[in-house]
Amino acid sequence: MKAGVIGATGYAGAELVRLLAGHPNVDGLELSSVSYEGDRIENVYPNFFKKASAELKKADAVIETADVVFSSLPHGVGETFAKACIERGKPFIDLSADFRFGSDEATFSAWYGKSYQYPELRELSVYGLPELNRQAIKAKNGRVIVGNPGCYPTAAILGAMPALAKGMAGPGTIIVDAASGITGGGREPTRAYHFPECADALSPYKVGCHRHTPEIARNFAAVAGRAVPLVFTPHLAPMNRGILATIYIPLVDAQLLGPHRPPSEEIAAKTAAIHALYAEFYKDEPFMRVLPMGSVAVTNRVRQSNFCDISIHLDQTGSMLIVISVIDNMVKGAAGQAIQNMNIVYGFAEDAGLSAVPSLF
């Protein structure tokens, strides 16, 4: 099978190339790039030398020759390519936000400032979070546009899903306080990602106005069956890979007692019960790891892998569930999840090409 990547020279595109080069069911890569058209991928990314080699073509050429097409373009410019793929009976897996909001064009437009070009394509699209929508992805029988989730939403939704699905969450606001490694900002050099400005520093950004807010909220609502008040704050951390989401979920049975004493045995027992529920919820998921009680999820335990690690905690009063959810932003948060979606679409082993053992360092 030939896999195509449109926008192969951005970081997510290059990570797709890296992972697809080792995929057992993929035997050819078709790549496009506007900035480097005519050049070769291994010149743009010399780390690929001797491992992945391909000319960078036009997107149209990729669509003609590839069997499945991944698109790693900016928001709002890929619908034509999606349409072309569908017309040719080829799955289109889109890493932009264009197909993450389904028929809710109003929300997409409000946050992204663009309209849908071909609204009817949403009948074929599905939000590609396998742990939430695996059956829907399969049910499209290959005639499918996958809206691959955003990096923060992936961590947030996977962290909150069991609590929301099982009615543990009370009516209060869920706060998702998250941080990302700097690869999340992409390959274009800007001051915010200039080494001397971001090394040895921690920076919140787009506080109260990040576009992943509605993506998280609509999926929280889908899981909970009701609107869920949400505050989301992203930060930039001085590391290359990783997203960490610290998720605060007010429990339905919250009884605030104040921080007068350290956690009691009663609270430990309550934590264990929630932990058991999470472990059960995700027990068949190949990429979910609910860590043992007492462990804390940290970003460098999932590095280079498609895993999402989750740890379960309560505050000292037992009223607030605190879930730590970590992923590699470039893998489960982008390219890896896209390949997981491809595997589901084609009925491959879900971890085909995604079997790397996480590297501690």
The residues that are catalytic are 151
- Specify the stretch interacting with a second copy by CB under 8 A; choose among 10-18, 82-90, 120-128, 342-350: 10-18
| CB of residue 110 to a second copy, shortest distance in Å | 5
Report the C-alpha gap between 164 and 162 in whole angstroms. Answer: 5
- Positions in 342-361 near a second copy (CB under 8 A): 355-361
| CB of residue 151 to a second copy, shortest distance in Å | 14
Whichever of 61 and 76 has its CB closer to a second copy, that residue is 76
Total residues contacting a second copy by CB under 8 A comes to 106
Q: Tell whether residue 304 is a contact of a second copy (CB under 8 A).
A: yes
3-state secondary structure of 211: coil
Q: Tell whether residue 284 is a contact of a second copy (CB under 8 A).
A: no
Q: Tell whether residue 324 is a contact of a second copy (CB under 8 A).
A: yes
Q: Tell whether residue 240 is a contact of a second copy (CB under 8 A).
A: yes
Q: Tell whether residue 303 is a contact of a second copy (CB under 8 A).
A: yes
Tell which one of 200, 265, 266, 284 touches a second copy (CB under 8 A): 200
Q: Tell whether residue 246 is a contact of a second copy (CB under 8 A).
A: yes
Pairing of strands 203-204, 230-236: antiparallel
Radius of gyration of the chain, Cα coordinates, nearest whole angstrom: 20
- Locate 289 and state its tokens: 């790891």
Q: Tell whether residue 117 is a contact of a second copy (CB under 8 A).
A: no
- Locate 62 and state its tokens: 């990729």
Residue pointed to by tokens 């929301």: 164
Q: Tell whether residue 297 is a contact of a second copy (CB under 8 A).
A: yes
| CB of residue 185 to a second copy, shortest distance in Å | 8
Binding string, residues 325-344; x marks residues near a second copy by CB under 8 A: -x---x--------------
- Locate 214 and state its tokens: 């509605």
Sign (positive/negative) of CA torsion 123, 145, 241, 326? positive
Residue pointed to by tokens 């595997």: 343
Tell which one of 59, 237, 308, 339 touches a second copy (CB under 8 A): 237
Length of the chain equals: 361
φ, ψ for residue 32, nearest 5 deg: -130, 155
Q: Give DSSP secondary structure letters for 66-127.
A: -SEEEE---TTS-HHHHHHHHHTT--EEE-SSTTSSTT-HHHHHHHH----S-GGGGGTEEE
Q: What are the strands of the beta sheet with 28-32, ordered from one edge? A: 56-57, 28-32, 2-6, 68-71, 92-94, 145-147, 125-127
Whichever of 81 and 278 has its CB closer to a second copy, that residue is 278
According to DSSP, residue 191 is labeled G
- Locate 20 and state its tokens: 């697809």
Q: Tell whether residue 266 is a contact of a second copy (CB under 8 A).
A: no
Q: Tell whether residue 27 is a contact of a second copy (CB under 8 A).
A: no
Q: How far does the chain reach from its first CA to its final CA, in angstroms?
A: 33
Q: Tell whether residue 273 is a contact of a second copy (CB under 8 A).
A: no
- Positions in 48-67 near a second copy (CB under 8 A): 48-52
Report the C-alpha gap between 297 and 305 in whole angstroms. Answer: 14
| CB of residue 28 to a second copy, shortest distance in Å | 16
| CB of residue 77 to a second copy, shortest distance in Å | 21
Q: Tell whether residue 151 is a contact of a second copy (CB under 8 A).
A: no
Q: Tell whether residue 115 is a contact of a second copy (CB under 8 A).
A: no
Tell which one of 319, 340, 341, 343 touches a second copy (CB under 8 A): 319
